[in-house]
Chain A
Amino acid sequence: MPTRTLIAVLTLIAAPVFLHAQRGQGPPAPPPTAKAAAAIDLTGTWVSVIGEDWWLRMVTPRKGDYTHLALTPAARKMADAWDPAKDEAAGEQCKGYGAAAITRLPGRLRITWQDDHTMKLEYEAGNQIRVFHFGTAPPPAPPSWQGASVAEWRYTAVPPRSGELKVVTSRLKPGYLRKNGVPYSANTTMTEYYHRITAPNGDAWLTIVSEVIDPENLQQPFVLSTHFKKLPDGADFTPEPCSAS
């Protein structure tokens, strides 16, 4: 075989190998938006189904009922002094509707994308809105009932892509962990995990796991898991005003 032919054949064999090695060296593609990179679809209208702690949730718990709660003495003292009429008069009737408590209240939850990097959660309960920011910290703002929330997708280790949503919320205005005056402070941090599951009958459910840490009022982290069932498109959504009692 002539030398030139042999060199040409070897070059042809080698070329794909070197081209393969060149991959990934071009200009980096822009990162996908949080909306495009969603691990699961949380959008739509969901309804809370009160299958546990019914009489702590469907009615306002009685004063002094601290079932499941490991309160500090200071928190117990504050809760023992709960006066819903006083809260109403002070315009503080939404104290029981803050981020650390609202998931547990009966009502519907509507989830939409506000933009490519921001998720909006609207609650019938107290006509409240939470905003989850992906990728960047939320803009500075004073403490509020719903605080500031930073979100990130967590993906499965192997395909097909799925996963959960993790949300960390802080900068909360002091509120009630339960409507009967159990307090949480401005130093509260809440971490949530949103899981979507499918029932054997095909219904879609959300399980929201929340861990509330408040050294001022809780002797240990307060962990709860709460459920919402997916409703058909166009389901009713009727916000309710806050009520202190």
Chain B
Amino acid sequence: MHRGARATVAVLGCLVLTAALAVRTFAQASFETTYQTTDFSGEWWAVGGDVPFAGRMPFEVGYTAELYDYSGLPFNDAGRARADAGDISDWSIPEFVCRPHPGPYNWYYGGGFRITKDIDPITRALVAYHVQFLRNVDRPIYMDGRSRPPEWAPHTWSGFSTGKYDGNTLVVTTTHLRESYIRANTALFSEKATFTEYLMLDGDLLTVTTLLEDPVYMEEPHLQSISFRRDVHRELPAFPCTVGVENVTEGFPHFLPGHNPYIDDTAKKLGLPREAIRGGAETLYPEYRKKLKTLPRASAN
């Protein structure tokens, strides 16, 4: 081989080697993870305006749910009967004084919450999110694909939650709930309820849409949502609760069917027809406004 030809071969060889190395470099795995599309961890606080039926407001209007107000709930007759039997003073019995808010209600309590991530130290995979509200201890949302416990496994205030991403949205499915309240009155969901949450992030706004399906107390799924803002200057406070015996009545506070004298109070207070705030799927749709105009208003007398 001539010297000139050898030089040409050497130059071409170097070019091929350089190009091949460059392609190999580009083909290497990215440093970015791909299993997670949105990070929901942090401290969050309720924003003004979007606190439906919450017990605590960050501004001028203190507002909690009116007693026996089921408006907006797709209750069936069983749901209404169960709620009518409730007496809000059941909060005073020792077993309930410190009960945590149930998962389906906690978002709507007002105030804030914290979400942390449980990361496997070796694989760095997201094992779980943990949500802490003021009035609960810890609620894990398992992200590792673990299987759900059998139906007969214990039911708890927070239930058993698993999560998965759908695009940018975190979809959480919760089962194994104990019967507890939907809003700050006696409206309840049953232990057969399934709860789906959709967490969506828009800038520093986190919106949670909740969908409650209850084959025992509801005619169709109940949907609500609420928004929170990321707050890097706030920490979720501790919530020490001491069980006190404040109940001076005998037994468990309740009303027997047909003996609750307070069912119409809210309708009277708001000047609405009694039927309107009894809930039901029909009452949730725009057409119901026509019927509403034909119904007699509850009288204060």
Which residues of chain A from 213 to 239 have a CB within 8 Å of any chain B CB? 219-227
* Selected contact of A199 from candidates B48, B49, B59, B196, CB within 8 Å: B196
Interface contact tally, CB-CB below 8 A: 187
Contacts A51-B222, A52-B52, A70-B60 given; does A223 touch B213 at CB 8 Å: no
Interface window among A22-30, A79-87, A137-145, A200-208:
A200-208
Answer yes or no: B211 CB below 8 A from chain A CBs. Answer: yes
The answer to whether B53 and A52 have CB atoms under 8 Å apart is yes
B9 at the binding interface (Cβ < 8 Å): yes
Contact residues in A for B221 (Cβ distance below 8 Å): 199, 201, 203
Contact check, A223 vs B47: say whether CB atoms are below 8 A apart: yes
> Known: A11-B12, A51-B224, A55-B270. Is A68-B167 also a contact (CB below 8 A)?
no
Q: How far is the CA of A219 from the CA of B61 in the complex (A)?
A: 13
Binds B, one of A58-66, A89-97, A111-119, A126-134: A58-66
| Contact of A58 with B60 in the complex, beta carbons under 8 Å | no
Contact digits for B209-231, partner A, Cβ 8 Å, 1 yes 0 no: 10101000000011111110100
A222 and B46 alpha carbons, distance in the complex (Å): 11
**What is the size category of the interface that chain B forms with chain A?**
35 or more
A-contacting residues, B262-301, CB 8 Å: 270-272, 276-277, 283-286, 288-289, 292
Q: List the A side residues contacting B173 at CB < 8 Å.
A: 200
Choose among A3, A54, A201 the residue that contacts B71 (Cβ–Cβ < 8 A). A54
Residue pairs across A and B with Cβ atoms less than 8 A apart, 29 shown, are A7-B8, A10-B12, A14-B12, A14-B19, A18-B19, A48-B286, A49-B285, A50-B284, A50-B286, A51-B284, A52-B224, A53-B72, A55-B270, A55-B276, A58-B283, A59-B292, A71-B60, A157-B37, A197-B171, A199-B221, A200-B173, A205-B209, A209-B200, A222-B48, A223-B48, A223-B205, A223-B227, A225-B209, A227-B225
Give me 19 other A-B pairs in contact (C-beta within 8 A), A14-B12, A52-B52, A207-B200 excluded: A3-B2, A7-B12, A17-B20, A51-B224, A52-B53, A52-B72, A55-B71, A55-B276, A68-B52, A69-B61, A70-B49, A70-B60, A162-B167, A193-B205, A195-B198, A195-B207, A209-B227, A211-B205, A226-B225
